[in-house]
Structure 1
Amino acid sequence: MLQRLHSTSARLVLAVALAFLAAFLLLGAGVYSRVLASLDRDTREFVRSDAADLLALRRDAGARALLDEVDARSRDPDQDDLLYAVFDRDGRRMAGKPVPHLPRRNGWTSFRDASVADRPRVIARVVALDDGGRLLAGMRTRAEDGFLAAMQRAALLALVLAAACGLLVGWLTSRWVGAKLARLDDTARRIAGGELGLRVPADGSGDPFDRVGARLNAMLDRIDALVDGVRHATDHIAHDLRTPLARMRNRLEELRDAADVDTAGRDALDAALLESDRLLQTFAALLRLSRIEVQASTEAMPELDLGRIAADAVELYAPSAGAEGMRLLDRSTPAPMRGDADQLFQAVVNLLDNALRHAQAGGDVVVSTMADADGVVLEVADRGPGIAEADRSRVFDRFERLQPDRGTPGSGLGLSLVRAIVIRHGGRIELQDNRPGLRVLLRFPLAGGDQPPVSS
């Protein structure tokens, strides 16, 4: 029983109970609005009745009687909170007290009476007369406003108390729940960074957070077993297939170079060598992708300049772009971050290779980097056919190739490798429309101040 009282669930129940106290304060605000509406309604009823009496007097005794009655009521000190005025068709006041402004439309209006020191609120009704003039009858709401001001002071005090209680409850709840979630978050962050052997610590309370932690640990155990199985299978593939493939390629090369091979046979062997090279490259890319996906995060890696890496990749690909009738433009600026220079260079190279393969002849491929308060951005933009929005999530899958690319050289692992490198560096990748073409944006966090210095 005592253990349950100290659980996070019990504390949240207490927080909910305190929240009901805040609900009562909201109820008080509702009561205030209802009282305000009721007072305004009573005032309107009084003003409506007063205006009706004056109109009846004019109808029975004539316009002069209305003007005299309005002047008499305006001079009566016992009716100081009542406001009466009669205007002709041109808006000139013919009788009654001065009015700050005469509304253009007939009906109800509300304004502050600037002719009085405390500027009380006035609720008035404007009625059209049959001669084109207008009658204004109103009432200053001093008494109502005083009562409402007292309610507002009480409500303000209650609001301050509620705010203090809310801050206290929020602080306690934040500490209680935050401590629970922080352990889950820290463990998940470190596991995502490659520390697959970590587990969520349990406090033995048996509350929902503790049970979630236990289930997460069980899931991690299962994932760890599956990852180990995949890793072992990959190692066996590397051991059992890579060497025979390389041996087969060498034998094909020996056959091609043999003296008794005619031209047709040599062409066939060249095609077989090309296919074996592609197979070996695909296999190497797949192995590298698997290794990157299980590597730890980049927190302890040296600082580097992503702009310099992008510039090097542009310099490498500029000749081949020119040979294809395209221009490769470098607009990179210094962009400091933490990471693996080889992997980031590989990511830029893959993006350039993809852009140049799909860009139109005579078009430009623009590579740019920049750094701001939010992080580091690398952008590669081409003028090719682009990727339909519905297909943008699929191109990151392994061996995924869109219909127009089928039959062209490539393994379908380029963007998968780019995404793995970006995730390992704590970034994200976005595909956008370049109108026409494709814009690929890689976003990374800035280099932290407590990391190792820049490597030379």
Structure 2
Amino acid sequence: MSRPLRSTSTRLALAVMGTFLLAFVLLGAGLHVAVSTLLLQDARELVRTDAAGLLQLEREGGRAALVQELRERLDAPEDPDAVYALVAADGRAEIGDVPAMQAASGTRWATFDLAGKTARGDAQSRRVLAQLQPLPGGGTLVTGLRLQSQDRFLALMLRTALVALAVAATLGALAGWLTSRWVSRRLGHLDRTAARVGGGELGLRVPLDGSGDAFDRLGRRFNAMLDRIEELLGGVRHATDHIAHDLRTPLTRLRNRLEDLRHRSGTTPAERAALDGAVQETDHLLTTFGALLRLARIEAQAAASEGPEFDLSALVADAVELYTPIGAERSVRLVPALTPARVRGDRDQLFQMLVNLLDNALKYAPEGSEVGVSLRGDAAAVLCVDDQGPGIPEGDRERVFDRFQRLEAHRGTPGSGLGLSLVRAIVHRHGGRIELLDRAPGLRVRVVLPRADTTGRIARAEPLE
């Protein structure tokens, strides 16, 4: 239960519901107090008027007239809720059925329970509001009113309020849920856009509704930030591409001249060895620039979801067959486990992706180990390349996809640091996702591509085997 309560949406829903219920309880309590006070004032006014009439009768006709009037009212009551009594100085009731009470020294109000059956046949005790007035000849006149009608009305109000509270709690929960859903939906656009931009879709932007509220302003600032990031990255990419393109021609000329010098007569073995090293370095630069240009072309191309349909397993089998002799030279065995998986896209680019993945796996796999290549086509085409090498630390797994990024432990091995950048660009162009996972020991490169009979990009992670 602790994790849902830490959710901002849950806390927002609870806050809305709590505020709704608190407002309802305060309103209901205020209404109950106001109605109760009004009913009590009305009851006091009725008792006061009735008592004034009896006192007037006592002043005009004496104690006998008052006693006779009280007995007549008790024998044949006009108001079944009216209560009358005459209490002696010792607190004993001379007329009427009221509990023993102290004689009044002055006019005062009292509330007590009166047991016994009422005129309606109700045997339950009822609250009585009474006015106690001392009489000139001694004793106390008790004039009261049963509050059972007021109590029943207040009880009905309480039951109605409880039902209304349950309805209000339901409506409050619904209002809180709808509010949290609305907020989550507005933030969801931002979250999904950030996730997809982080996955490489730099041209994606947050949809705006034009309302100008806080969420809309946040979306505008987020889009402005993405525009600036895309502009900066585009400038760096274009500069890199132009450099790569402009340097290929002079590098090619330089390599040709080095080749001429190497094959000239009279070149000493030491000079030939130096020229061989220079030619290798030049070839490495040309390969790097070629990879940069290929990467730039792939990133500039539209999505390949409308490409021709083919079986990816056949392409994987060709790549495994191509690299099996290379693996045998290094005493590394390739172990394929392929099932049919039909995809759409560019066969040449996907083959380039497979070549780069297998080349990396064989480069870092220890001698005498195996490299597993599996493909399954369930909800999506899932390709896994597993090696038993040193692996990649978790903190570096995203960084290795950047251009020219190489781990310190791998800087002594051949390569330019563009292989995984090229792989990720191909995967993203085909609407897929690439992940680097720990095999302990070794590394698993998992590529998830949409099947040919599905549309859209891969959004959810497939379960690990």
Q: TM-score scaled to structure 1, two decimals?
A: 0.57
Cα deviation digits, residues 38-57 of structure 1 (max 9, x gap): xxxxxxxxxxxxxxxxxxxx
- The alignment partner of 2:413 has SS state of coil
DSSP 3-state at the match of 2:272 = helix
2:277 maps to which of 271, 279, 282: 271
Give 1:325 deviation, angstroms.
2.2
In the TM superposition, residue 19 of structure 1 has moved relative to its aligned partner by 5.5
> Any idea what SS the aligned residue of 2:215 has?
helix
Residues 99-119 of structure 1: CA distance to partner in whole angstroms, max 9, x if unpaired? Answer: xxxxxxxxxxxxxxxxxxxxx
Letter of the 2:427 counterpart:
V
1:232 maps to: 238
Q: Does the CA contact (< 8 Å) of 2:186 and 2:215 recur in 1?
A: no
What letter corresponds to residue 203 of structure 2 in structure 1?
Answer: L
Match of 2:319, SS? helix
Please say which structure displays the higher CA radius of gyration: 2
The answer for the alignment partner of 2:412 in structure 1 is 407
SS at match of 1:211: helix
Taking the aligned partners of 1:308 and 1:22, their CA distance within structure 2 comes to 64
Aligned residue for 2:298, secondary structure, equals helix
Contact 2:335 2:372 in 1 (8 A): yes
Does the Cα contact within 8 Å between 1:197 and 1:224 map onto a contact in 2? no
Distance in 2 separating the partners of 1:175 and 1:430: 32
Q: Deviations over 1:332-373 (max 9, x none)?
A: 211233433322222221111111112222222111111223
Is 1:245 aligned with 2:244? Answer: no
CA RMSD of the aligned region, Å?
4.1
| Equivalent runs, 1:56-455 vs 2, <5 Å | 162-163=169-170, 166-167=173-174, 170=177, 174=181, 178=185, 182=189, 196=203, 200-201=207-208, 203=210, 205-373=211-379, 375-449=380-454
- The amino acid across from 1:387 in the alignment is I
**Take 2:371 and 2:195, find their aligned partners in 1: how far apart are those partners?**
39
Q: What is the distance in 1 between the residues matched to 2:305 and 2:24?
A: 48
Q: 1:159 to 1:440 in 2, by over 3 A?
A: farther
Task: Quickly say closer, same or farther: Cα 1:222–1:316, change in 2 above 3 A.
Answer: same
Amino acid aligned to 2:417:
G
Length, aligned pairs only: 314
CA contact (8 A) 1:15 1:169 kept: yes
Offset from partner CA, 1:179-199 (integer Å, 9 cap, x none): 786599579969977573867
Structure 2 alignment gaps of length 5 or more: 1-11, 27-157, 457-465
Per the TM alignment, residue 156 of structure 1 is displaced from its structure 2 partner at its CA by 9.7
SS at match of 2:373: strand
What amino acid maps onto 1:365 in structure 2?
A: V
2-structure distance, mates of 1:216, 1:175: 19
Of the structure 1 ranges 164-173 and 216-225, higher mean CA displacement relative to structure 2 is found in: 164-173
Q: What is the aligned partner in structure 2 of residue 86 from structure 1?
A: none
Please give the alpha-carbon distance, in whole angstroms, between the structure 1 residues aligned to 2:278 and 2:414.
Answer: 14
Is the contact between residue 22 and residue 162 of structure 1 (CA under 8 Å) also seen in structure 2? Answer: yes
Contact residue 202 and residue 226 of structure 2 kept, 8 A: no
**CA gap 1:188/1:325 in 2 versus in 1, 3 angstroms:** closer
User: Could you tell which deviates more after superposition, 217-226 or 323-332?
Assistant: 217-226
d(CA) in 1 for partners of 2:25, 2:265:
96
8 Å CA contact retained: 1:200, 1:217:
no
- The SS at the match of 1:430 is strand
Name the counterpart of 1:104: none
The separation in 2 between residues aligned to 1:303 and 1:168, in whole angstroms, is 49
Contact 1:302 1:339 in 2 (8 A): yes
SS at match of 2:366: coil
Q: CA 1:180–1:359 in structure 2 vs 1: closer, same or farther (change >3 Å)?
A: closer
Inter-partner Cα distance in structure 2 for 1:165 and 1:376: 46
Q: Percent identity over the alignment?
A: 52
The 8 Å contact of residues 436 and 443 in structure 2, kept in 1 or not, is answered as yes
Query: In the alignment, is the contact (CA less than 8 A) between 2:385 and 2:445 conserved in 1?
Result: yes
- Superposed, 1:35-74 pairs within 5 Å as none
Residues 337 and 376, structure 1, Cα contact 8 Å, conserved in 2: yes
Contact 2:21-2:168 within 8 A present in 1 as well: no
Counterpart secondary structure, 1:236: helix
Amino acid corresponding to residue 419 of structure 2 in structure 1: G
Could you tell me how far apart the structure 2 residues matched to 1:439 and 1:188 are?
A: 22
Contact 2:15 2:176 in 1 (8 A): no
Pick which of 297-306 and 435-444 moved more: 297-306
Query: 1:180 and 1:381, CA in 2 relative to 1: closer, same or farther beyond 3 A?
Result: closer
Partner residue, 1:82: none
TM (norm. structure 2) is: 0.56
